[in-house]
Chain A
Amino acid sequence: ETGVTQTPRHLVMGMTNKKSLKCEQHLGHNAMYWYKQSAKKPLELMFVYSLEERVENNSVPSRFSPECPNSSHLFLHLHTLQPEDSALYLCASSQDLGFYEQYFGPGTRLTVT
């Protein structure tokens, strides 16, 4: 595997379910990000981790809970989501925080029913 991978690629869940999204980067980067991509809206930065420490929580509802056990893995735990949470969730990584290119994974298409 190369670059940034995300699993699952597609997820359908009910509003009472609990699920997790997984991201893994194979680039040796120190910073990882979660973005939300909705149709006709700008990408929204949700969370930022640097060396496994959360440095940004962009007013994201508590039903989204990130976890970064090491610099290669990032999770987004989901519980009691709303239909408006349906979107493409993108993970990205960069060498470090600051002025470095961000490399994106292919995303997880989430549908909340």
Chain B
Amino acid sequence: QQQVKQSPQSLIVQKGGISIINCAYENTAFDYFPWYQQFPGKGPALLIAIRPDVSEKKEGRFTISFNKSAKQFSLHIMDSQPGDSATYFCAASPTSGTYKYIFGTGTRLKVLA
């Protein structure tokens, strides 16, 4: 069954702390793993994405770590800021249908000032 399991459902972090959101998948055919950020009243926006040929990708304070053997990937937000407070969705895209993202259930992040 194609699904992506995301945890935690919600997360509270102090300003300057590290936020970590985890996702796990079952289908080994997935080959593209994007993370989306959604602010209240807005649609999701692509934040960062990784392919399984690398184990880590960093863009500014945002890092994706990818463990192919464990079929897990995670988003790390370093030096978390109140402006990072949003809902984060992981997703996976199967090789055969590249627009058919399988989304996680989302993590609501709140960064305290």
Q: State the A residues within 8 Å of B (CB).
A: 4, 31, 33, 40-43, 45, 48, 56, 90, 92, 94, 97-107
Which residues does chain A contribute within 8 Å of B46, judged by CB atoms?
101-102
Q: List 22 A-B contacts (CB under 8 A).
A: A4-B43, A41-B105, A42-B4, A42-B102, A43-B101, A43-B103, A45-B101, A90-B43, A90-B44, A92-B43, A97-B98, A98-B98, A98-B99, A99-B32, A99-B93, A99-B99, A101-B46, A102-B46, A102-B99, A104-B44, A105-B43, A106-B42
Q: Which residues on B are within 8 Å of A, measured CB to CB?
A: 3-4, 9, 32, 41-46, 89, 93, 98-106
Interface contact A97-B43, CB-CB below 8 Å: no
Residues in A neighbouring B104, C-beta threshold 8 A: 42
Not counting A31-B99, A40-B105, A102-B46, a sample of 11 additional A-B residue pairs whose C-beta atoms are within 8 angstroms of each other reads: A40-B9, A43-B103, A92-B43, A97-B98, A97-B99, A98-B98, A99-B32, A99-B98, A101-B46, A104-B43, A104-B45
Q: Which 9 A-B pairs have the closest CB atoms?
A: A104-B43, A42-B103, A43-B103, A99-B98, A104-B44, A98-B98, A105-B43, A106-B43, A101-B46
- A interface secondary structure, majority: loop
CA distance A107 to B43 in the complex (A): 6
Chain B nearest CB, measured from A56 CB (Å): 8
